[in-house]
Amino acid sequence: MNFSTKVSRCLVLLLVLAATPNEAWSFSSIHHQLQIELEPSTRFARIEDTVYFKNSQGNCDSLFLHADLKLNSVPAGWQVETSHGLLKIEFIKSSSTTCPETVTLNYSGILHDPSLGPDDSTDSSGFFFSSESYFYPQSKANVLTFEMRVSLPEPWQAVSQGKRFGAQLSGERRIVSWKSSNPLEEIYLIGNKFHIYEVEHNGLNLYAFLLQKEDVLADRYLEIAKGYIDFYSKLIGPYPYEKFALVENSRQTGYGMPSFTLLGSRIIRFPFILHSSYPHEILHNWWGNGVFPDLKQGNWSEGLTAYLADHLLLELQGKGAPYRFQEMMKFLNYVNEENDFPLSEFRYRDSMASQAIGYTKLLMVFHMLRTEIGDENFLKGLQKFYVTYKYRHVGYEEMRKNFEEVSGQSLNGFFEQWVHRKGAPAIGLQQASYVSDKGRHDLKLTVEQSNPAFKLKLPIAIWTADSQVAEIYYVELVADKQDFNFQLSVEPIAVRLDPYNDVFRRLGAEEAPASLGQTYGAQTVTALLPEKEKPDYRIFAQSVAKRIFTGDENASFPEGSLWVFGRGHPMRKAFIEPLKKSGVVVTERGIQIHDKSYPWDDHSFVFTLPRTDQKKGTMTWVVTENAKSIPGLMRKLPHYGKYGYLVFEGSAPDNRAKGIWLSNPVGLQKVFKGGHPRLLPEQKPLVSFKPFPK
């Protein structure tokens, strides 16, 4: 599961407000000095903000507040109008007036919390204010700095970016101050009745803001933060902000903001989060919150963060190749001709398809860039990119020039192809043969790819009779069909294209094992309901398909995915034999998976297989005898897209078993002689050091 969701809508809105596009190196900034008196139960606030214009050059930026806020007075020389739900506060220019260096605004009203739904207006579990709230006057400036003094009733606490100054009590109210001298894109104000844990690490303040007193949980997160902050500081450059904090949210979010992450209560209690989503959010302080993506060119920060967190941490464990395969499966499952788009158009994740493009495809593009210029140049390029563009907006064009300067290579074609062109190549080994003569073995391979062709640096593994370990060769594939010749001194026994899954490509239908994500992601979806069986799966069926058949209808189903519901559905027969061949046995008592039995009672089962009716697509069988488990299954199953089988227990329901069917490199390899062990050389990770060496 990937919980990173940057609140990019706010970013887009700020860019729309800009009268003219800002160049990546432009450093227009303003400073806010805020004093806020807040009543969390009603979200009513009295606010004073003194805005300091920097680099104004005689021009004052127009300022924007939420239209629900009321100005106590309009500063002399300024005018106010309401437009599109915002108050526009504009300086009146004339021949006898010049832009003031500061303006002070006093206003009050109920603050807009963008994290609340329409039915949550009385929610008192905390507050979340961002640029989308327009609780502070916003301008078209690239970046800002701020000081903020917040007064709120005890025992409430307020959290923001930057450095925290000791909270003090004044009567029954707490006064908390935050200050960020480092440039930011927006200001956040978040609050709840937190228990605060704090440690210092190499001069950096680390916090855990938890909703309950939990010393063990806090210590665990603080210790893990030390390791990852040190790791990425060594990998990229110094940590860019004054603190880092874990902030617990009663709403199940996964946000990464400058100097803190806001994670849901359930999320932070999953053990795997500590070494998956948590380092991902920490790394966002460098990419996305330290160097800002220029959204006009596309959001590169999510893919780069995924590559250096999710991917790199597994690569350090020797699991990089299977991770890349699973990521390419996401692209296969969710991206089709109708919803595909180039990386230059990715702004933020709003669907499984957009995530498969902006995260999956882009992390693979960074992996190929690393292959193209070499590990050393790739690392130097990352470090140079960070130090050059810290606290600035930057896009792919500046990134390309940065890596060109470091590597000395022209990368225009690489970036043009992968950033501005949509799609992915489909690659196959059409023919492989060799001729032996007098101790020389001439191997000929014919490789084909989908048209129009991509230009690819394609790794090929060749095994010979004298070694169990393959030799890796790199070729330039530039046409839709191309021959490659190798002169070998030892007889070849097997060849395979892209043995480490280094090349971003559309996996073959037979190469990729059937998975739940393929059923969710199909363009055509059909649901098959049992006629009389309980529980009632209809709500589930309606959530995944528009075309629904009931009972024993003998219909010809279109190509695409099939959802089959119910233990007694006639279509169960199509699953039983294929499952048995994969070690899953369906019995009268329940399901047996690799010698472990799960009774029908209080268990839910999900199996995905290729369709058996000669039509393209997958079929997923969902069985439960606990009606209360159905809402939980509907909520949880989209997060298990890579799996072929799943077992849950109880009403929650809780996962008890999961597995991925074996993949088949059909179409990518040729085995001339069997019976020989075929190993690959160990791939070297990007760096030799780890976050936790022990």
pLDDT digits (tens, 9 = 90+) for 308-330: 999 999 999 999 999 999 999 99
Each domain of the chain, given as residue ranges in start order, spans 8-193, 292-420, 427-510+667-671, 516-659
DSSP for 321-355, please give it.
Answer: HHHHHHHHHHHHHH--TTT---GGG--S--SHHHH
Inform me whether the pLDDT recorded for 20 exceeds 50: no
Can you give the pLDDT at residue 57? Answer: 54
CATH architecture for the domain at 292-420: Orthogonal Bundle (1.10)
Can you give the pLDDT at residue 615? Answer: 85
Query: Out of 6-10, 53-57, 582-586, 657-661, which region has the weakest mean confidence (pLDDT)?
Result: 6-10
Q: What is the pLDDT of residues 522-555, one digit of tens each?
A: 989 999 999 887 899 999 999 999 899 987 655 6
At 538, which helix (H) or strand (E)?
helix 538-544
Structure confidence at residue 610 as a pLDDT band (50, 70, 90) = very high
Per residue, what are the HEC states of 532-559?
CCCCCCHHHHHHHCCEEEECCCCCCCCC
CATH for 8-193?
Answer: 2.60.40.1730
Structure confidence at residue 48 as a pLDDT band (50, 70, 90) = very high
Nearest-angstrom CA–CA distance, 1 and 228: 19
Can you give the pLDDT at residue 93? Answer: 82
Tokens of 297: 């060119």
Inform me whether the pLDDT recorded for 1 exceeds 50: no
Q: What is the pLDDT of residues 419-468, one digit of tens each?
A: 999 999 999 999 999 999 988 999 999 999 999 999 999 999 999 999 99
At 229, which helix (H) or strand (E)?
helix 215-235
Cα distances (angstroms) measured from residue 670 to each of 196, 431, 436, 494: 60, 8, 17, 6
Instruction: Read off the pLDDT of each residue in 363-371 and give the average, rounded to a whole number.
Output: 98
Instruction: Read off the pLDDT of each residue in 110-124 and give the average, rounded to a whole number.
Output: 74
Q: What is the pLDDT of residues 151-204, one digit of tens each?
A: 999 999 999 999 998 788 888 999 999 999 999 999 999 999 999 999 999 999
Nearest-angstrom CA–CA distance, 267 and 255: 12
Structure confidence at residue 12 as a pLDDT band (50, 70, 90) = very low
- Kindly report the number of other CB atoms within 10 A of residue 186's CB atom: 21
Q: Give the single-character DSSP code of 291.
A: B
Nearest-angstrom CA–CA distance, 661 and 640: 13
Structure confidence at residue 497 as a pLDDT band (50, 70, 90) = very high
User: How do strand 243-249 and strand 654-659 relate by DSSP bridges?
Assistant: unpaired
CATH for 516-659?
Answer: 3.30.379
Domain 8-193 and domain 427-510+667-671 have a common topology: yes
Topology at the third CATH level for domain 427-510+667-671:
Immunoglobulin-like (2.60.40)
Instruction: Read off the pLDDT of each residue in 331-347 and give the average, rounded to a whole number.
Output: 95
Tokens of 428: 């196959």
Instruction: Read off the pLDDT of each residue in 609-630 and give the average, rounded to a whole number.
Output: 92
Structure confidence at residue 18 as a pLDDT band (50, 70, 90) = very low
Per residue, what are the HEC states of 259-279?
CEEEEECCHHHCHHHHHCHHH
Inform me whether the pLDDT recorded for 4 exceeds 50: no
Classified as helix, coil or strand, 631 is helix
At 595, which helix (H) or strand (E)?
none
Tokens of 343: 């990386």
Can you give the pLDDT at residue 120? Answer: 60
Structure confidence at residue 141 as a pLDDT band (50, 70, 90) = confident
What is the percentage of the chain residues whose pLDDT exceeds 70? 93
Can you give the pLDDT at residue 551? Answer: 72
Classified as helix, coil or strand, 486 is strand
Tokens of 152: 């709120």
Average pLDDT across the chain, whole number: 91
Can you give the pLDDT at residue 463? Answer: 97
- Kindly report the number of other CB atoms within 10 A of residue 531's CB atom: 12
Can you give the pLDDT at residue 357? Answer: 98
Q: How far is CA 656 from the centre of its chain?
A: 26
**Burial class of residue 526 (count of CB atoms within 10 Å of its CB; 0-12, 13-18, 19+):** buried
Strands of the 471-477 sheet, one edge to the other = 471-477, 456-464, 492-497, 669-671
Contact assessment for residue 319 and residue 326, using Cβ atoms and an 8 Å cutoff: no
Q: Which residues have C-beta within 8 Å of that of residue 593, sequence separation ≥ 6?
A: 583, 584, 585, 645, 647, 657, 659
